[in-house]
Structure 1
Amino acid sequence: MDIIAIEKESFDSFKKKLERITSLVPKQPSNNTLCIEQEWIEGKELAASLNLPPRRLQHLRESGTLSFSTIGKKIYYRISEVKLLLEQGKINSK
């Protein structure tokens, strides 16, 4: 790991520019609903949206109830499948 030292003024300037850029990026829905436009959702986001412990998602994966894909260390779920399981009552959101 490399350590890079920069002047405080340069860091503050960079930070302000980054904050301006992030303010231009559209915000994700914050009302605990799944974003329908997406086809996949990351596991942590899904657990937070449904107010489920991550262990519950792990159980659904291991039992074969909920299929998933992994990219690196992140686990993704198909939103359409999650919606179907919710409708069938196989996932209880709080």
Structure 2
Amino acid sequence: MSIEIMTKSDLMDFKSDLFKELKAFLAPEKPTDKKWLRSNEVRKLLGISPGTLQTLRNNGTLSFTKIGGTMYYSMEEINKVLQFPETSNILR
């Protein structure tokens, strides 16, 4: 029978890994479950920069609604944009 000695460092690594897994498990619902998304959620979902999102708004590719200082995008509109092959070049 062999004995393994756990150090304080081993326990700290375990704690860190455990917290990462718990955080991933308890993360809020995905933005795709929402009907309306904010700019930062759209950028994360599409993997684009703020400038690319601005271009999509300017050329009318992606419609939005501005309420106060916040822009909202319909998930339905985002799905439509993703279905057209000509927009795939913009999103890369």
Question: For residue 29 of structure 2, what is the aligned residue in structure 1?
Answer: 28
**2: CA distance, partners of 1:67 / 1:73:** 16
Question: Residue 62 in 1 paired to residue 62 in 2?
Answer: no
Question: For residue 49 of structure 2, what is the aligned residue in structure 1?
Answer: 53
**2: CA distance, partners of 1:50 / 1:59:** 14
Deviating above 3 A after TM superposition, structure 1's stretches of 4 or more consecutive aligned residues are: 91-94
Question: For residue 42 of structure 1, what is the aligned residue in structure 2?
Answer: 38
Q: Percent identity?
A: 31
In structure 2, which of residues 63, 72, 82 is the aligned counterpart of residue 76 of structure 1? Answer: 72
Q: How many residues align?
A: 65
Structure whose alpha-carbon radius of gyration is higher: 2
Deviation, 1:28, is: 2.5
Of Structure 1 and Structure 2, the greater helix share is in 2
1:24-59 CA-to-partner distances (Å, cap 9, x unmatched) read x97223xxxx423x2211111110121100111111
TM-score for the superposition, normalised by structure 1: 0.58
**1: CA distance, partners of 2:50 / 2:82:** 16
